[in-house]
Amino acid sequence: MKKIISVFLAAVTVFALFSCGDRKINADTAAADSGETENETGFKPYKLGIVGGDYIFADDPCGGYPVKYNVHNGQMSYLCPDPFCSHELDECEFSGVGYTSIGNTVYFAREDEATGKYSLYAFDADTSELKIIYSSNAYLSVYRAYDYRLFMRYSSGFGKNAYGYYFWYDTKTGDIEEIDEGRVPGYHIIDDITDGRIIWRKLNSDEYVSTDLQFGDLKEHDFGYRYGNHYEFVQTDGIYSLYVTFKGDDEKTLLLEDVGPCLFYENKIIYFKVLPLEEQPVVHICEDGTKDTDEFGGNVYVMNPDGSDNHLLLHTDKMIMGTTTDRMHPQVCGDYFALIVARYEGDGICDDTLLIANINTGEYVITTPLY
């Protein structure tokens, strides 16, 4: 089933993406947060928990099936390698499971019907080799990969008999590090793990806190903090500007004017601008023969967190819809990041296509939808 949205809705979506002035816009990125600087002048180089590979993993926006996008040729394919599988929930072992990835390996946990045990699976997206790497008698959940470790939970029983704990599973050694359950912030769910912090969201609320990887150092979390600085989007007359307050400074500095959502990745800030209407290179011919200029081209720029080395990374004729929003499966991979672009389907626009670009060279591919 295709998800087709109207041009009008697409325009609203673009506006909405441009109009997020609060911290949620920052939450839309796959970024590192609240990094302490090592010194007053330099930004701390940090490593995200994302290891380079050949694929960006995501849930297909149309069917919700786990898919992989090849960063080199843009090909989108089902994660499940079985050509005869419908990939529907009840049939496909890859659908409906919480999964995360390290390099080309996808990790998920589910019950093994043969043994009744819960198992942690490692699936090589390149070779389609599926392995059980850990088993337990109790329910296992995989939340997120961070560097080469998986953040997981073990739980058994219900009500008064409920018992469980969070743990780290080291994919290189198989070692397990249990975490003291008593230190889990109450009523919070895992939102993200980034830059040495676990970010928790309070259930049914917009409140975020963060802890270190062993649930210590609990503090309020502000998504505006990145690279040791504080970033803020400010709206004036419908135009958004990005301001930064550098660590140790009191005053805001204007970094970017007339800008959409920014992606904070690999110690860079990536942003895009839609070309003015009169410079639009592409005219779409609608089914009734009328012409439309709604396939907006755009430029993607990259700069350092302090605004230096601000340069054009690439130009595309595609309409850029925004940054990807799924932090549990951030659509980044090593040197590659993805932006959502639109494609035409009849007179409607589908938002199931990605532009995957190399952050260093600007080379990019437009992904090919499955159907």
Q: Which residues bind Zn ion (CB under 5 A)?
A: 80, 85, 87, 92
What minimum distance in Å lies between the beta carbon of 317 and Zn ion? 34
What minimum distance in Å lies between the beta carbon of 97 and Zn ion? 11
User: Distance between CA atoms of 107 and 146, rounded to whole angstroms?
Assistant: 12
Token pair in block for residue 319: 């309409």
What minimum distance in Å lies between the beta carbon of 79 and Zn ion? 8
Nearer to Zn ion, 85 or 97 (CB): 85
How many other C-beta atoms can be found within 10 angstroms of the C-beta atom of residue 128? 11
Backbone angles phi, psi at 346, to 5 degrees: 65, -125
What minimum distance in Å lies between the beta carbon of 203 and Zn ion? 32
How many other C-beta atoms can be found within 10 angstroms of the C-beta atom of residue 211? 20
Nearer to Zn ion, 64 or 185 (CB): 64
Nearer to Zn ion, 80 or 314 (CB): 80
Rg (CA), the chain: 22
User: Distance between CA atoms of 66 and 106, rounded to whole angstroms?
Assistant: 10
Nearer to Zn ion, 80 or 109 (CB): 80
In one-letter notation, the amino acid at residue 178 is E
Token pair in block for residue 185: 């912030």
Token pair in block for residue 125: 């997206």
How many other C-beta atoms can be found within 10 angstroms of the C-beta atom of residue 32? 23
What minimum distance in Å lies between the beta carbon of 68 and Zn ion? 13
Nearer to Zn ion, 85 or 190 (CB): 85
What minimum distance in Å lies between the beta carbon of 37 and Zn ion? 46
Give the residue carrying structure tokens 């397990």: 176
Nearer to Zn ion, 123 or 336 (CB): 123
User: 3-state DSSP call for residue 159?
Assistant: helix
What minimum distance in Å lies between the beta carbon of 128 and Zn ion? 11
How many other C-beta atoms can be found within 10 angstroms of the C-beta atom of residue 1? 6
User: 3-state DSSP call for residue 222?
Assistant: coil
Nearer to Zn ion, 85 or 133 (CB): 85
Q: Are 16 and 311 in contact (CB under 8 A)?
A: no
